[in-house]
Amino acid sequence: MQYFRDGSSYFIRIDKDEDLFKSLESFAEAEELKCGHLSGIGALKDCELGFYHLHEKTYDRKMFKDEAELLSLDGNLSIFDGKPFFHIHTVLGGPDFSCFGGHLFSAKVAVTCEVNFRPLDIEMERQPNSDIGLNLLHFCNINPDT
Amino acid sequence: MQYFRDGSSYFIRIDKDEDLFKSLESFAEAEELKCGHLSGIGALKDCELGFYHLHEKTYDRKMFKDEAELLSLDGNLSIFDGKPFFHIHTVLGGPDFSCFGGHLFSAKVAVTCEVNFRPLDIEMERQPNSDIGLNLLHFCNINPDT
Amino acid sequence: MQYFRDGSSYFIRIDKDEDLFKSLESFAEAEELKCGHLSGIGALKDCELGFYHLHEKTYDRKMFKDEAELLSLDGNLSIFDGKPFFHIHTVLGGPDFSCFGGHLFSAKVAVTCEVNFRPLDIEMERQPNSDIGLNLLHFCNINPDT
């Protein structure tokens, strides 16, 4: 992994065989980042995807081992349990140009991964929500509720 | 819905069962926003998708009632008919990890929706274009035409 | 094509029948931009998509001539061979709301294309990597390597 900051944004290159989440987490820790938005392209492998069944409050999980084009990666950084937590959804592309995707639990970089990260000066924490069964975003500063 | 602003960007959380477009429109009105770019992830239901047939100048529309992972939501805010108008395209993911998507006409939040909105200090209005049959973006300030 | 800049970002409208990459390249040259991130929506046609086979170090390429909804376009601008180079991945939507996508080699605008471009004050160059068989990003300024 290599990354570079300009005033308002980071550019991150994660390299072949590196773990996507471990790389992003070590980036966030090194830069002391707590909140932000990210997007990226590249190619991934060993992707564990999830689909959340709200009524059962459980994720179906499935591993996709093959290399896939990373067509869309969108997500955010917040704090969960005192640590940086990346929430990422992704669309992947297969060799026949079909698409598949879901909530991304884990992945390795297959070729390269080019990520743009924009820090936000907001404190967001994930807190358990028993109705939903997931850890939802909570803004730690006072803010409008509508 | 809850939202928070840092200097250059908003983070918006839209909650279960809330209407996506009504929430975004009330956010834009409350914050007096006229132009910007947004992206987001989460889960949606009751999604009405569209595909535009240019030669017939009509949208095919189809309702997808089931909960789906919101894998990619990308769009922009402009002014149409004096009001904030969100133009959004989306990729959704099903329980078998397949993808579907289109122009998004309407949707409700299924689990949560986490949106990043970046205001732009530009005035953009949508104006009818008879060749295309749609309301296209028009920049209201003087700008280069190439 | 028309575009407008606010302090931190550009909004670009590329019009029907215009070449996507030629338009973006002429925009980058006119504005003397070297690095940045872009995303966009709209509709494209004549899309040449690629899937990279790492072991063979070759792209499979396929042309999709029909109009498709542009559901997700994500990418970045860097310098390759002294010229602005856009690396773009895309998810497209068909008339049956199915998705397909890949690395985007070329495309024309079918209806309209609405792009948000955010310049980064970073110098990134693409340089050949013989292990991967592609031109990977190289940050030209000193930066942390982890």
pLDDT of residue A146: 42
Q: What are phi and psi of B82, to 5 degrees?
A: 80, 0
Look at residue A142 and tell me whether its pLDDT is greater than 50: no
Residue in the structure block whose two tokens are 């996709």 = A64
Q: What is the assigned CATH class of domain C2-139? A: alpha beta
pLDDT band at residue A145 under the 50/70/90 scheme: very low
Q: Residue C119's closest CA among C24, C15, C22?
A: C24
The angle at the Cα of B109, spanning B22 to B91, to the nearest 5 degrees, equals 100
Tens-digit pLDDT profile for residues C58-99:
999 999 999 999 999 999 999 999 999 999 999 999 999 999
Burial of B33 (0-12, 13-18, 19+ CB in 10 A): middle
Q: Residue C51's closest CA among C38, C64, C68?
A: C64
C-alpha neighbours within 13 Å on the C-beta side of residue B35: 20
Q: Residue A21's closest CA among A54, A4, A5, A44?
A: A44
Alpha-carbon distance B99 to B92, whole Å?
A: 6
Residue in the structure block whose two tokens are 């068909």 = C94
pLDDT band at residue C141 under the 50/70/90 scheme: low
Give the alpha-carbon dihedral of B31, B36, B39, B44, to 10 degrees.
60
Which uninterrupted H or E stretch holds B20? helix B20-30
Both structure tokens of A88? 């990422």
Both structure tokens of C82? 């002294």
CA distance B57 to chain A (A): 27
pLDDT of residue B116: 97
Do A54 and B40 make contact, defined as CB atoms within 8 angstroms? no
- Interface A-C, measured as beta-carbon pairs within 8 A, has a size of 117
What is the rounded radius of gyration, in angstroms, for the C-alpha atoms of chain A? 16
pLDDT of residue A8: 76
Which residues does chain C have within 8 Å of residue B124's beta carbon, measured at their own beta carbons? 4, 11
Look at residue A126 and tell me whether its pLDDT is greater than 80: yes
pLDDT of residue C140: 80
What average pLDDT does range C125-137 have in this prediction?
Answer: 93
Count of residues in chain B: 146
Do B120 and C6 make contact, defined as CB atoms within 8 angstroms? yes
What average pLDDT does range C102-115 have in this prediction?
Answer: 98
Look at residue A143 and tell me whether its pLDDT is greater than 70: no
pLDDT of residue A7: 80
**Chain C residues contacting A via beta carbons under 8 Å:** 8, 35, 37, 39, 49, 51-54, 60, 62, 64, 72, 74-76, 87-91, 99-103, 118, 120-122, 124, 131-132, 134, 136-137, 139, 141, 143-146
Q: What are phi and psi of C122, to 5 degrees?
A: -130, 145
Query: Which chain B residue has its CA at the smallest distance from C6's CA?
Result: B121
High-pLDDT (> 90) share of chain C, %: 90
Write down the domain spans for chain A.
Answer: 2-139
CA distance B85 to chain C (A): 14
CA distance B17 to chain C (A): 24
Q: Cβ distance C69 to B51 under 8 Å?
A: yes
Burial of B43 (0-12, 13-18, 19+ CB in 10 A): buried
Look at residue B136 and tell me whether its pLDDT is greater than 80: yes
Both structure tokens of B54? 């240019």
What average pLDDT does range A60-64 have in this prediction?
Answer: 98
Question: Which chains lie within 8 Å of chain C at 3 or more CB pairs, if any?
Answer: A, B
pLDDT of residue A144: 47
Q: What are phi and psi of A27, to 5 degrees?
A: -60, -50
What average pLDDT does range C114-132 have in this prediction?
Answer: 93
Share the mean pLDDT of chain C: 94
What average pLDDT does range B14-21 have in this prediction?
Answer: 98
Share the mean pLDDT of chain B: 94
